[in-house]
Amino acid sequence: MPAKRIAEIRDWDLELECEGLYSARLPYHNFQHVQTVLGAAGQLLDHCEREGLQVDAQVVYYALLLHDAGYHESHLALGYASKEAYSAVLARQVLSARRVPDAVISRVEQAIMATLRDGQCHGAEDAVVRMADLSGIGADYAEFLRNTINIRAEVALMTNTPLTPWAEWCAGTQKVLSDYLSGEVNLTADFDRARPGNFFARGQANLERLVREPEPV
C-alpha cells in the first residue's frame, strides 16, 4: 500500500546525502528550501487524504528531496536543457544506488519535471510536488517577500552581476509567477479558482502588492 504521509517514511541518511547536492551559498535554492517544501507537501497530503485523493507520499518525498539538486551548477555546461532535467538525472543516480525500483524512479523524474515553469502534471503526485514547490507564492506576504528578496540576491550571485533594480525585478517576478499561476491544478479545494481565498487568489494578491509597494529597507 502506498505511503500516505512523509513523516512516516523520512530517511535521514538519504536526506544527508541529498543535502550534499545543494549549495548553502544560495540564498533560496538551498536545502532549507527542500525542508520548507516538504512541510508544505505534508500539509497538502493531509488535505488530499481528507478529500479522498490517493497520493503516493514516497514519490512526493523523493521528488522534493531532489527537485533542485545541483541547482548551483551550470546545467547548460553539463549538457542539460534545464535545471529540472539535471536534477532528475541526479535523482535517478541517487535512488538507483539505493535500489529504488525503476518504476518509482521514473515517477520521481516525472514529478521533478512537473516543476518546470511550463511543467505538466500527469498525476496527483506531480501536482503535489509542483504546488508544494510553489507554496511560497500563496503564503503570507512576509514569506512571499522574503523569498522574492532571496531569489533576487541568488540571481545576482549566480550571474556575478549587480542586483536588478527593484522595480524591474518586481515586474519580471510578476510576469514569471503569473505563468506559474495560470494553469489548472486538479488537486484539493484550495486550488479551485471559484473558492474564495484560494491559492491562486492569494498568489495574485501577493504579486499585486509586490509591484505596488516600495523596495523594503
pTM (two decimals): 0.96
Using CA atoms, how far apart are residues 58 and 162, in angstroms rounded to an integer? 41
- From first CA to last CA, the distance across the chain in angstroms is 51
Could you list the pLDDT tens digit for every one of the 217 residues in the chain? 677 799 999 999 999 999 999 999 999 999 999 999 999 999 999 999 999 999 999 999 999 999 999 999 999 999 999 999 999 999 999 999 999 999 999 999 999 999 999 999 999 999 999 999 999 999 999 999 999 999 999 999 999 999 999 999 999 999 999 999 888 898 999 999 999 999 999 999 999 999 999 999 8
Q: If 0-12 CB within 10 Å is exposed, 13-18 middle and 19+ buried, where does residue 188 land? A: buried
Domain locations in the chain as residue ranges: 6-133, 137-212
Choose among 132, 82, 96, 93: nearest CA to 111. Answer: 132
Q: Which superfamily is assigned to 6-133 in CATH?
A: 3'5'-cyclic nucleotide phosphodiesterase, catalytic domain (1.10.1300.10)
